[in-house]
Amino acid sequence: MTEMLKVTVDRRPPLAVIYTEGYINNQGGEEIARVAYDLIEGDHTTLLLNLKGTKIVNSIGISILIEIIEKMLEIDGRLAFCNLTPTIEKTFHIMGLAQYAQIFADEEVALGELTV
């Protein structure tokens, strides 16, 4: 019933790209976290979250993303974002999240920067 977030993954060790489609609310955030923790276990230390298919997020969903960032900092890995709507990007700046997770315009730019 509740519109579920679709999450797909493209593994390119040590990097992985996570694609989302839909609303990142409580459940959506948890779904992303589940996928991210699996990837971390599988030794992916750089995660790129491509939010092209997500037009709306809420602060509960974002809080779960902060958990993932914390985890990445612990393992010396990193989480980056690309394809954010202007509002999601603005929100990340309001929160100061942009200091701890890089934001790229699109996947090409992100991969260029993250794989050097």
Partner 1 sequence: MVDSTVMREVTLTLPMLPDMEIAASKTATALAEFMEMSSDKIDEVRMAVVEACINSFEHSQADDRKVEIRFVVLGNDDPERLQITIKDSGVGFAPDTVERPRIEEKLIAANKRGWGLTIIKGLMDEVEIHSGADGTTVVMSKLR
Residues that bind partner 1 (CB under 8 A): 1-3, 23, 25, 55-60, 62-64, 66-67, 69-70, 73, 85-87, 90-91, 94-97, 99-100
Residue number with CB closer to partner 1 (9 or 60)? 60
- Peptide bond before 14: cis, by omega within 30 degrees of 0? yes
C-alpha span between 39 and 29 (Å, rounded): 15
Helix (H, G, I), strand (E, B) or coil at 20: strand
Q: Where are the beta strands (DSSP E) in the chain?
A: 6-12, 15-21, 46-53, 78-82, 102-104
Q: Which is nearer to partner 1, 41 or 96 (CB)?
A: 96
Nearest to partner 1 of 101, 111 (CB atom): 101
Least distance from partner 1 to the Cβ atom of residue 100, Å: 7
Nearest to 3 by CA among 82, 59, 86, 61: 61
At closest approach, how far in Å is the CB of 116 from partner 1?
A: 25
Task: Say if CB 5 and CB 31 are below 8 A apart.
Answer: yes
Q: Which is nearer to partner 1, 19 or 23 (CB)?
A: 23
**Smallest gap, in angstroms, from Cβ of residue 115 to partner 1?**
25
CB of 110 to partner 1, least distance (A): 21
